[in-house]
Amino acid sequence: MTVRVRFAPSPTGLLHIGGARTALFNLLFARHHGGEFLLRIEDTDRERSTDAATQVILDGLAWLGLAHDGQTVFQSQRAARHAEVAREMVARGSAYHCYLSAEELKATREAAAAAGNVTRFRSPWRDRAPSEAPAGVAPAIRLRAPREGETVIDDLVQGTVRVANAELDDMIILRSDGTPTYQHAVVVDDHDMAITHVIRGDDHLTNAFRQAQIYDAMDWPRPHFAHIPLIHGADGKKLSKRHGAVSVLEFQEQGYLPEALCNYLLRLGWAHGDVEILDRDEAIRLFDLDGVGRAAARMDPAKLGHINAHWLKLRDDAWLAAEVARRLVGRPNLALGTDAIHRIRALMPALKERAKTLVELADSATFLAYTLPLPMQPKAAGLLSAENCLMLREVATALAASDFTATGLDAALRGFAEATGRKLGAVAQPLRAALTGSTVSPGIDAVLAALGREEALARIAAAAR
Ligand code: GLU
């Protein structure tokens, strides 16, 4: 049996990171078993499902490197097939036409509630002869669900879960307007797509019972189900906007790398010993459903930052410099020409050691693109006393005589400090203020080298004026 799995998002306008994790688990499972990973857009709710909303999902998956196999299936285009299967179920006797109007349905429910009747709603049309059908009323189609016994699912993550059939009513599978209900469409599509494993969030566990009944009603083999625990916030509640970013796009904007987000999402709910850092190949090699835990996973921003910092260091410096420049566009007091990008690229090995996200990286690199005069942070301005400005002019002379390599600059600064009886820090801090407008930066020799002779000396001169 070839493993075939799918990711089946509803296009609601964002790709939730819970959804991204579901997609990732499906992809890894498929690749691990040499199977296929399919994509189905569940766009039956035509009000909410716009092309733009679908595009957001496709873009998010592409960014995360979660490419699916084969054509994307759009659920809305399969409505005729959904209706056909519903009619086939009627012909088989496992579903029936229900002519109850919305008002009658409401009245039946209310009467049952008033009588304190706790059993599930039952349509009288289950046992009525089709010949009694009222003229001119379009019927809905309901599943003739079993009333005795239990529906049991051997879930690959949750274990054996069961529900008494008396708990489940005869759900509608095809509405009177001919449109399928969600439960029905999912089953027909998964069957037709030959899905072997349904791996999704455990908020769908209760749906699985209903869906299992539809498979059984059609005598279709059920797929294996694997319901993975949802992602919770640090407070243990279901992840929502209150907790900060929830969509893949937000994490992208906040400067997380796709390989880091995938690494983090993989570890959120799946473990292989205490292996923390995994690239895609390693993840494919190690992933299987037995490593998925049953407890809800909690979002841990500090850990995400830690993992992102790891992957950031492995990114190519030229790529990082271009990305930083892109993120700086539109900020005030900057000239983002080739000079600036060259400087950012030159300092990147030092900058990326200190940043957890691309946003932090861009912030720390901003000074390299400043136009003169530099915007000064108050603390930095405080270092530019008349006395220090005098010193900076002398330092400039010493630096000008160096070869402007990091080693040459370091030697020049040490020599100057020694010759003038100053501590190195007493020279470096005012210099840092002059060069960066701030009191924190990578090593001053690296900063000088990255700025280059002309720019560095111009900045010192401007600050010391
Ligand atoms: N469309 C459903 C959702 O976005 C998923 C359905 C499924 O995976 O079976 O939550």
- Residue whose CA is closest, atom 7 of ligand 1? 8
pLDDT of the residue at 104: 84
| Residue finishing a domain among 186, 209, 228 | 228
Sign of CA dihedral 312, 316, 319, 320: positive
**Which pair of structure tokens corresponds to residue 35?**
């199977």
pLDDT (tens digit per residue) in 430-440: 999 999 999 99
- Residue whose CA is closest, atom 6 of ligand 1? 8
| In a domain? residue 88 | yes
pLDDT (tens digit per residue) in 443-456: 999 999 999 999 99
Instruction: Give percent of the chain with pLDDT exceeding 70.
Output: 99
Are residues 206 and 91 part of one domain?
yes
Are residues 128 and 48 part of one domain?
no
Q: Please indicate whether residue 9, judged by its CB atom, sits closer than 6 Å to ligand 1.
A: yes
Element (H, E) at 112: helix 102-114
Are residues 265 and 163 part of one domain?
no
CA of 304 to the centre of ligand 1 (A): 26
Query: Which one, of 83, 174, 163, lies nearest residue 120 by Cα?
Result: 163
Probe target for ligand 1 pocket from 37, 42, 61, with the most ligand atoms within 8 Å of CB: 42
CA of 10 to the centre of ligand 1 (A): 6
Instruction: Give percent of the chain with pLDDT exceeding 90.
Output: 88
Residue range of the domain that includes 164 = 78-228
Q: Which residue has the tokens 């075939």?
A: 4
- Count, residues in the chain: 465
The answer to whether residues 59 and 65 touch, using CB atoms and an 8 Å cutoff, is: no
pLDDT of the residue at 250: 96
Q: Report the atom number in ligand 1 closest to the C-alpha of 207.
A: 9
Is pLDDT at 246 greater than 80 in this prediction? yes
Average pLDDT over residues 290-310: 94
CA of 9 to the centre of ligand 1 (A): 5
What amino acid occupies position 222?
Answer: R
| In a domain? residue 142 | yes
Query: Which one, of 4, 11, 149, lies nearest residue 74 by Cα?
Result: 11
Q: Interior CA angle at 454 toward 451 and 457, to 5°? A: 85
pLDDT of the residue at 17: 95
Probe target for ligand 1 pocket from 204, 207, 211, 228, with the most ligand atoms within 8 Å of CB: 204
Are residues 128 and 183 part of one domain?
yes
| Residue finishing a domain among 183, 205, 228 | 228
Separation between Cα atoms, residue 170 and residue 167, nearest integer Å: 10
Average pLDDT over residues 179-205: 97
Of 237, 238, 241, 352, the active-site residue reads 241
pLDDT (tens digit per residue) in 362-378: 999 999 999 999 999 99
Q: Please indicate whether residue 8, judged by its CB atom, sits closer than 6 Å to ligand 1.
A: yes
Are residues 84 and 58 part of one domain?
no
Are residues 185 and 103 part of one domain?
yes
Average pLDDT over residues 68-73: 98
47 pLDDT band (50/70/90 cuts)? confident
DSSP 183-210: HHHHHHHHHHTT--EEEEEGGGHHHHHH
Q: Report the atom number in ligand 1 closest to the C-alpha of 203.
A: 10
The residues, any chain, with a CB within 8 Å of residue 93's CB and separated by 6 or more, are 144
| In a domain? residue 44 | yes
Are residues 222 and 182 part of one domain?
yes
Q: Please indicate whether residue 186, judged by its CB atom, sits closer than 6 Å to ligand 1.
A: yes
Separation between Cα atoms, residue 456 and residue 116, nearest integer Å: 84
CA of 434 to the centre of ligand 1 (A): 56
Are residues 434 and 383 part of one domain?
yes
Average pLDDT over residues 131-136: 92
pLDDT of the residue at 112: 77
User: Could you tell me the CATH number of the domain that includes residue 176?
Assistant: 3.40.50.620
Mean pLDDT over the full length of the chain: 95
| In a domain? residue 397 | yes
Are residues 185 and 160 part of one domain?
yes
Q: Report the atom number in ligand 1 closest to the C-alpha of 190.
A: 9
User: Could you tell me the CATH number of the domain that includes residue 416?
Assistant: 1.10.10.350
Probe target for ligand 1 pocket from 200, 202, 205, 248, with the most ligand atoms within 8 Å of CB: 200
Residue 98, helix vs strand vs coil: strand
Average pLDDT over residues 395-411: 96
CA of 138 to the centre of ligand 1 (A): 29
Average pLDDT over residues 30-40: 98
Is pLDDT at 116 greater than 80 in this prediction? no
Are residues 286 and 221 part of one domain?
no
| Residue finishing a domain among 264, 299, 314 | 314
pLDDT of the residue at 103: 84
| CA 33 distance to own-chain centroid | 24
Is pLDDT at 121 greater than 90 in this prediction? no
| In a domain? residue 361 | no
Are residues 184 and 162 part of one domain?
yes
Q: Please indicate whether residue 94, judged by its CB atom, sits closer than 6 Å to ligand 1.
A: no
pLDDT of the residue at 1: 82
CA of 395 to the centre of ligand 1 (A): 65
| In a domain? residue 346 | no
pLDDT of the residue at 370: 97
Is pLDDT at 243 greater than 80 in this prediction? yes
Is pLDDT at 159 greater than 70 in this prediction? yes
119 pLDDT band (50/70/90 cuts)? low
State the total domains in the chain.
3
Q: Report the atom number in ligand 1 closest to the C-alpha of 186.
A: 9
Q: Interior CA angle at 242 toward 158 and 304, to 5°? A: 65
| In a domain? residue 341 | no
Q: Please indicate whether residue 200, judged by its CB atom, sits closer than 6 Å to ligand 1.
A: yes
pLDDT of the residue at 48: 77
Q: Is 241 a catalytic residue?
A: yes
Separation between Cα atoms, residue 329 and residue 151, nearest integer Å: 58
Query: Which one, of 435, 397, 399, 433, lies nearest residue 414 by Cα?
Result: 399
pLDDT of the residue at 362: 98
Are residues 213 and 282 part of one domain?
no
Q: Please indicate whether residue 354, judged by its CB atom, sits closer than 6 Å to ligand 1.
A: no
Sign of CA dihedral 74, 80, 83, 89: negative
Q: Please indicate whether residue 204, judged by its CB atom, sits closer than 6 Å to ligand 1.
A: yes
| In a domain? residue 100 | yes
Is pLDDT at 255 greater than 80 in this prediction? yes
Q: Which residues sit opposite 153 in a β-bridge? A: 161
Q: Report the atom number in ligand 1 closest to the C-alpha of 211.
A: 9
Separation between Cα atoms, residue 341 and residue 325, nearest integer Å: 7
Is pLDDT at 117 greater than 90 in this prediction? no
CA of 96 to the centre of ligand 1 (A): 26
Q: Which residues sit opposite 270 in a β-bridge? A: 292
Is pLDDT at 97 greater than 70 in this prediction? yes
Probe target for ligand 1 pocket from 5, 7, 10, 17, with the most ligand atoms within 8 Å of CB: 10
